[in-house]
């Protein structure tokens, strides 16, 4: 008798935060690609000086984006502590932030491509539990490092090149050149 049907049925039993996360991805796509704010956001990301000259408040857009990403990071932290390990412990993220940044790079800064990269890294992390259950004899250390090996390959450019927004991390002050 195969263990796969049992594992497959567990795939669909998730906490509400998992389904909320997929909703957040769809809402973010709509916000960035279909609204005026999304157009302002992309303009600020590429050329804040031009956006400012067009009447967009660069500071407002940046602050709102920091607040939104902070809320998403809070949901992610809540998911890890409530759903994954069911408690709060110091260092419980274990490099998940690094994997998140790498997923953005691998996903070429595009919403659904980033989702696919996150699912790839999540699947690689899940293999550390699935492969031993299936009787695959691999050392635990190899299974634990698999998502990070994939991330390393992504950031070293072996997968493909990614171009971030031109003004990412650059300070902006109105009136300076």
Please say if the pLDDT value at position 166 is more than 80.
Answer: yes
Alpha-carbon span 116 to 31, nearest angstrom: 19
Would you say 3 and 9 are in contact if contact means Cβ atoms under 8 Å apart? Answer: no
Last residue of a domain, one of 32, 65, 93: 93
Kindly report, residue by residue over 119-158, the tens digit of the pLDDT.
Answer: 999 888 888 888 888 888 889 888 889 889 988 887 787 5
In sequence order, which residues have a C-beta less than 8 Å from that of residue 148 and are 6 or more positions away? 95, 98, 99
Last residue of a domain, one of 58, 76, 93: 93
Please say if the pLDDT value at position 7 is more than 90.
Answer: no
Give the orientation angle of helix 16-34 with respect to helix 111-133, to 10 degrees. Answer: 160
Based on the domain organization, do 88 and 98 belong to the same domain?
no
DSSP state of 102: H
Across the range 66-80, mean pLDDT stands at 90
Query: Can you give the residue range of the structural domain that contains 98?
Result: 94-162
Kindly report, residue by residue over 84-98, the tens digit of the pLDDT.
Answer: 667 777 877 777 888
């Amino acid at each position: 008798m195969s263990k796969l049907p049992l594992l497959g049925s567990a795939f669909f039993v998730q906490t509400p935060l998992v389904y909320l996360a997929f909703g957040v991805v769809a809402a973010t796509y709509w916000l960035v690609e279909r609204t005026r704010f999304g157009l302002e956001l992309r303009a600020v990301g590429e050329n804040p000086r031009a956006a400012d000259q067009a009447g967009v408040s660069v500071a407002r857009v940046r602050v709102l984006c920091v607040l939104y990403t902070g809320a998403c990071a809070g949901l992610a932290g809540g998911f890890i502590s409530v759903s994954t390990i069911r408690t709060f412990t110091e260092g419980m993220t274990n490099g998940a932030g690094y994997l998140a940044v790498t997923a953005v790079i691998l996903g070429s800064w595009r919403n659904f491509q980033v989702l696919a990269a996150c699912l790839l890294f999540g699947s690689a992390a899940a293999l550390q539990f699935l492969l031993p259950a299936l009787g695959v004899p691999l050392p635990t250390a190899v299974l634990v490092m698999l998502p990070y090996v994939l991330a390393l390959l992504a950031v070293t450019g072996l997968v493909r090149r990614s171009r971030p927004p031109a003004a990412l991390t650059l300070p902006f002050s109105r009136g300076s050149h």
